[in-house]
Amino acid sequence: MSKVIEILVAILMVGVVIAVHEFGHFLLAKVNGVVVKEFSLGMGPRLLSKKYKGTIYSLKLLPFGGSCQMLGEADDSNEEGSFNSKSVWKRISIVFAGPFFNFILAFVLSLIILNAIGYDPAYISSVDPTVAEQTGLQEDDVIVKYQKHKIRLGRDLALYETLDGISKEPITITYLRDGKKQTVTYDPVYTARYYIGIYYTYNEGLEGGGQIELSDVVKKGAAEAAGLEKGDKIVAINHVDVATVDAFTDYTKDHPFGDQAVTITYERDGKTYDTELTPKFQESYSLGFTYNVNYREKISFAKSLKYGVVEVDYWIKSVIKSLGYMIKGKASTEDIGGPVRVVSEMTNVMETSYRTDGLFYAFLNLINWTILLSANLGVMNLLPIPALDGGRLLIYIIEVIRGKKMKTEHEGIINFVGFVLLMLLMVFILFNDLINVFH
């Protein structure tokens, strides 16, 4: 697949997500009798336009986003058909419709994936012998609750494990076996070992799991300190060939990492390099079992409707929890991404999946990214920040509580300040994207 085509498709999908958001505002504005001056698909100069029943419908040059310009939205006009002339509840419905339509888009796209390959139940795939002895947990048990959290997907559990972490506190698990629920509480598994600080994926479609291509490196880990980067391919350890993931795993079992330096041979851009690194000692706690996040179980269309809602709920939770992760200062600028980063990541995923699994799975990965983006846009727009939909909703909710409108000039000042801050944030994100994508 051509890189240019991948980039254009990714940009188009980002545009679709934004256009659906604007269509939500447009539709509820029309339903509530607000005059829409212009509804456009795309941005920049107009390519085509037609006026119909007082609204200009435009197709613009850049296939990125859209807009819905309503009468009175940008000023204090209260004339018939203006946004400001409508009741507070109608204004709330119009503003809320944008984010809500993003959630609807995420739901519809989730149905495509669910009906194509199914969903990912939280099956246990292996259990630490100590945990198995303590709890009776077995392979193929299905986790349905972790601590106080309901678990409906394997990714649910992965989300809590990754962002909340596992502490030394007792773990309570509810699991399903032969149609019956059972609950157990046990101590997490303590591990103390040396790590080289890399992430990689086992590819089921390739012999031995495929070559070890780094999906990422641990921040401030041994591999990063030695110069290894995402995308590098490990080919040898201490000059012993490890051609596949299985070979790498077998080698590290027979030669566990310690406090002695090891030589890593890796490929980058077709060239081979050697680097020396010293594994880092790390203490950690784990669940004591592994679970499914990749296997998909086929389901009926009726059941896909239920799990479509579950998928959207998962993506909304992931966005909210990720925001909390950032607010707590656990994320770096490398974890923050905007439009440039999104398009770059989408094209990388499409290219990798097309190369390893074919066009169909490249398409599904594109859809999956679009679901994430749509849910992300919906949640972010609902944040109570001036100039965003959430900020406007907060003003209208205050209006409901007070029983009278905020003065137009006050609302204008709040939105202007919010807009300036939002633009500064967008500039920061753009430069951050360029640094992370091209570094």
More confident residue, 338 or 131: 131
Determine contact, residues 278/264, Cβ cutoff 8 Å.
no
Q: How far is CA 246 from the centre of its chain?
A: 29
What value does the mean pLDDT take over residues 374-384? 89
Q: Which two tokens stand for residue 339?
A: 């439009």
CATH topology of domain 120-188+287-295: Pdz3 Domain (2.30.42)
**Sorting pLDDT into bands at 50, 70 and 90, what band is 51?**
very high
**C-alpha–C-alpha distance, residues 114 and 96, integer Å:** 27
Q: Which of 50, 76, 114, 6 is nearest to 346 (CA)?
A: 6
Gap between the Cα atoms of 286 and 124, Å rounded = 14
- Per domain, the residue ranges of the chain are 1-117+300-389, 120-188+287-295, 194-280
pLDDT score for 350? 59
Give 206's pLDDT tier (boundaries 50, 70, 90). Answer: confident
Evaluate whether 43 touches 65 at the Cβ level (below 8 Å). yes
CB 228 within 8 A of CB 198: yes
Q: Tell if the pTM clears 0.85, that is, is over it.
A: no
**Lowest-confidence segment of 90-94, 134-138, 140-144, 366-370 by average pLDDT:** 366-370
CB-based contact 14:373 (threshold 8 Å): yes
Residue 104 pLDDT > 50, yes or no? yes
Average pLDDT over residues 305-331: 83
pLDDT at 239 (0 to 100): 93
Whether residue 438 has pLDDT greater than 90: no
Q: What is the pLDDT of residues 223-234, one digit of tens each?
A: 999 999 988 999
Compute the average pLDDT of residues 295-314.
94
Per the model's pLDDT, the better-predicted residue between 294 and 372 turns out to be: 372
Three-class SS state of 50: strand
**Mean pLDDT rounded to a whole number for the chain:** 84
Give the domain 194-280 fold. Pdz3 Domain (2.30.42)
- Position 80 pLDDT exceeds 90: no
Q: How confident is the model at residue 340 (pLDDT cuts 50, 70, 90)?
A: very low
Separation between Cα atoms, residue 307 and residue 155, nearest integer Å: 13
Helices (H), 280-407: 301-327, 339-357, 359-381, 389-402
